[in-house]
């Protein structure tokens, strides 16, 4: 027997079947929100994985095309690698849930969310977050949940709780908030310059809804939840810490970690580790966990100094940003480039412009999004952190960082009508020591301006960190966290925006939630910092978008034709349009409404292509003067081509002002001549004359 639990949530019914399917999984929730249906499971291994010092959690969000009545493309007709949306959704589920598992838990654990049906009024990503929490909560896996998630949209100034897909895609706010019963644990947002005070209000509107969902989940757990299993703790023995402190006193560790140079710090820690290895050479059990023990010792040292003494590892004040530098045009011949440096974090961004036909095609479950005109990609090579590792393409972290910077800049991009280009922005990480995604946002903004993209306002981003003590009011906020403060701290709160409001938020934490004063303080710190970055660093490098695109970027001209003439321009199997492209070297795109874009770097070639299209789509009239090329000679006259696929005939009597016996006496194939249209003859055929044209005679061959 199974049981179904239901609640009303934002005007729709949320229902969960427990015990109906997936009975062998550790926890399984067959969850429905309106007609959106997902299967969410949580499983864990029987024993911890040997030789690791982290919690091996895997979160998988799989999109099934049958959920929207589609068959996958490709030869195999089978779902392939996860889409970018699936990867980003997996990250959004992972970030709030991971801190709720024990830090010393080493059993392989998997959360799987499979989308089986999609109702456009209930987004499956939201349902997956709730379903994953229910599955983990009712399982025997140690988990300090439940948690819940709510999404907030903003359409025409009206706040919408859990908006449908169309409202989500077209609104001014895409806010996702996850909470426990007590605190906010994750925030992710894309926003159209939402003021800080409004954003905070929306966050806590979502938090209030989350508390209702958690109450609902608690009821399910009370009836169906399994007892939590006992597990083997992989915590570092306290006697090992005591022995380490005897050999390396706290003062020595403070000296080792408190430096503004990452390489120096790593060298100091390596020397300490070698000393400890020698001291514990006879104790294999301690040697096996020594690396993690040294890491924990560093962490406790840094956290103590920050929290109690307000002393940061590199000596900065709590609200101080590392040294900044910005420059543009560092890469020749590209369409736009910029480099942004903040301490030991350095990003080079390159912008490429192309016709709209080169926009990225998107295949997924959202019917409203079939292509992306703006794409931001982020690369993180191993040399940027002084390591050596074979590159195997972008991982989930790289895709997530690129998506964050993309969200940050979308609100300030010009419309297609204002700037009819596809835009690719690529951030290359030259050096990394904390918050490269925010440096990527700054570099990309400058690179877009350098490329001549008329963005509406400057956008900058910064990250705020956190170290907490034993009580909710015992905490320290850190502006512009470096890598060490990120690793050892409790929060990475990234905010991007203009002078007028927020454009994106991504918040990661390692603790069981944030109080409202922490959230408000972090948002205020980030606003202060990004204003400083824009005014003191970015504006001196480039204050506004350049008035024109680079000379190396393609130029685009538009023309409108009668939609019924599209077939004439395209020709049979594309013969006509391909011939125009071949002759002029331009790129031509036509939409169903007859709007044509002509793209190229040669203005003369673009004008020639436009002229050809005009000729093809224009009905000939008496008195019209045209230039044509002789393409065929007959006994009775010559056939001229005025544009690919557009021809006319000149009778032999209309070639010259004298009588000629043979057309070849005057014309040869390839001659370029000027003619005038004489209108239609008695049989309704158009005729042309060379001798009556304003400019008579043969011209050079083409």
For the chain, list residues with pLDDT below 70: 695-702
Hey, what CATH topology would domain 238-309 get?
Answer: Arc Repressor Mutant, subunit A (1.10.10)
Q: Is 649 strand, coil or helix?
A: strand
Q: Helix 436-450 crosses helix 396-409 at what angle (to 10 degrees)?
A: 50
Q: Are 125 and 83 in contact (CB under 8 A)?
A: no
Which CATH superfamily hosts domain 555-612? K Homology domain, type 1 (3.30.1370.10)
Mention every residue, 6+ apart, whose C-beta is less than 8 A from residue 229.
140, 141, 142
Q: Are 172 and 159 in contact (CB under 8 A)?
A: no
Residue 494 is predicted with a pLDDT of 97
Residue 702 is predicted with a pLDDT of 44
Residue 699 is predicted with a pLDDT of 52
Residue 42 is predicted with a pLDDT of 98
**661-667-668-672 Cα dihedral, nearest 10 degrees:** -170
Residue 223 is predicted with a pLDDT of 96
CA gap 71, 66 in Å, rounded: 7
Which CATH superfamily hosts domain 3-224? GHMP Kinase, N-terminal domain (3.30.230.70)
Q: Are 328 and 541 in contact (CB under 8 A)?
A: yes
Residue 392 is predicted with a pLDDT of 81
Fold agreement between 3-224 and 324-541: yes
Residue 630 is predicted with a pLDDT of 93
Tell me how far CA of residue 86 lies from CA of 128, 150, 258, 326, in angstroms: 11, 18, 40, 34
pTM of the complete model: 0.89
Residue 696 is predicted with a pLDDT of 52
For the chain, give the mean pLDDT.
93
Residue 318 is predicted with a pLDDT of 95
Tell me: cis bond preceding 146? Omega within 30 of 0 counts.
yes
Instruction: Give per-residue pLDDT as tens, 148-179.
Output: 999 999 999 999 999 999 999 999 999 999 99
Hey, what CATH topology would domain 324-541 get?
Answer: Ribosomal Protein S5; domain 2 (3.30.230)
Q: Are 122 and 164 in contact (CB under 8 A)?
A: yes
Residue 354 is predicted with a pLDDT of 94
Residue 74 is predicted with a pLDDT of 78
CA gap 641, 650 in Å, rounded: 11
* Residue ranges per structural domain of the chain: 3-224, 238-309, 324-541, 555-612, 625-699
CA gap 624, 644 in Å, rounded: 18
For the domain covering 625-699, report its CATH number: 2.40.50.140
């Amino acid at each position: 027997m199974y049981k179904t639990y239901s609640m009303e949530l934002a005007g729709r019914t949320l229902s969960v079947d427990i015990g109906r399917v997936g009975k062998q999984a550790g926890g399984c929730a067959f969850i429905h929100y309106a007609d959106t249906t997902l299967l969410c499971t949580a499983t864990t291994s029987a024993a911890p994985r040997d030789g690791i010092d982290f919690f091996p959690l895997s979160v998988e969000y799989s999109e099934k095309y049958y959920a929207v009545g589609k068959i996958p493309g490709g030869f195999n007709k089978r779902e392939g690698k996860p889409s970018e949306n699936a990867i980003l959704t997996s990250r959004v589920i992972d970030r709030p849930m991971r801190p709720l598992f024990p830090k010393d838990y080493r059993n392989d654990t998997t959360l799987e969310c499979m989308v089986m049906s999609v109702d456009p009024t209930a987004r499956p990503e939201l349902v997956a977050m709730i379903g994953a929490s229910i599955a983990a909560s009712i399982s025997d896996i140690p988990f300090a949940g439940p948690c819940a998630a709510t999404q907030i949209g903003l359409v025409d100034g009206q706040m919408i709780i859990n908006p449908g897909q169309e409202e989500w895609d077209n609104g001014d706010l895409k806010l996702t908030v996850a909470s426990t019963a007590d605190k906010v644990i994750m925030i992710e947002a894309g926003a159209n310059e939402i003021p800080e005070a409004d954003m905070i209000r929306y966050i806590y509107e979502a938090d209030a809804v989350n508390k209702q969902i958690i109450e609902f989940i608690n009821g399910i757990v009370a009836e169906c939840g399994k007892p939590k299993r006992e597990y083997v703790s992989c915590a570092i023995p306290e006697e090992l810490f005591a022995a380490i402190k005897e050999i390396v006193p706290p003062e020595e560790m403070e000296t080792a970690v408190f430096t503004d140079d990452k390489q120096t710090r790593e060298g100091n820690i390596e020397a300490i580790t070698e000393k400890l290895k020698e001291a514990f050479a006879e104790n294999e059990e301690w040697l096996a966990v020594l690396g993690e023990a040294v890491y924990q010792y560093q962490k406790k040292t840094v956290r103590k100094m920050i929290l109690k003494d307000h002393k940061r590892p590199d000596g900065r004040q709590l609200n101080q940003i590392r040294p900044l530098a910005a420059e543009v045009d560092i890469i020749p011949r590209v369409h736009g480039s910029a480099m942004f440096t903040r301490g030991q974090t350095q990003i080079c961004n390159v912008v490429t412009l192309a016709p709209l036909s080169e926009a990225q095609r998107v295949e997924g479950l959202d019917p409203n999004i079939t292509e992306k005109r703006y794409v931001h990609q982020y690369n993180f090579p191993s040399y940027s952190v002084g390591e050596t590792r074979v590159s195997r393409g972008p991982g989930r972290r790289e895709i997530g960082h690129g998506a964050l910077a993309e969200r940050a800049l979308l609100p300030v991009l010009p419309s297609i009508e204002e700037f009819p280009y596809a835009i690719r922005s690529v951030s290359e990480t030259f050096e990394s020591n904390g918050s490269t995604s925010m440096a990527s946002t700054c570099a990309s903004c400058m690179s877009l301006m350098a490329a001549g993209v008329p963005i509406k306002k400057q956008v900058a981003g910064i990250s705020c960190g956190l170290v907490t003590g034993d009580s909710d009011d015992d905490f320290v906020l850190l502006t512009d966290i470096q890598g060490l403060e990120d690793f050892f701290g409790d929060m990475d709160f990234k905010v991007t925006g203009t002078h007028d409001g927020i454009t994106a938020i991504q918040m990661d934490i390692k603790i069981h939630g944030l109080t409202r004063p922490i959230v408000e303080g972090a948002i205020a710190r980030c606003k202060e910092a990004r204003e400083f970055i824009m005014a003191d660093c970015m504006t001196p490098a480039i204050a506004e978008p350049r008035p024109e695109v680079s000379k190396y970027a393609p130029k685009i001209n538009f023309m409108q034709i009668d939609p019924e003439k599209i077939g004439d321009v395209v020709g049979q199997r594309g013969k006509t349009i391909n011939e125009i492209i071949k002759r002029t070297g331009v790129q031509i795109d036509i939409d169903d409404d007859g709007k044509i874009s002509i793209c190229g770097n040669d203005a003369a070639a673009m004008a020639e292509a436009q002229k050809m299209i005009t000729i093809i789509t224009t009905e000939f009239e008496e008195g019209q003067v045209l230039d044509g090329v002789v393409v065929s000679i007959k006994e009775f006259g010559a056939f001229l081509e005025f544009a690919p696929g557009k021809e006319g005939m000149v009778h032999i009597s209309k070639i010259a002002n004298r009588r000629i016996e043979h057309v070849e006496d005057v014309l040869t194939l390839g001659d370029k001549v000027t003619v005038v249209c004489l209108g239609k003859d008695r049989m309704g055929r158009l005729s042309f004359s060379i001798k009556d044209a304003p400019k008579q005679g043969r011209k050079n061959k083409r």
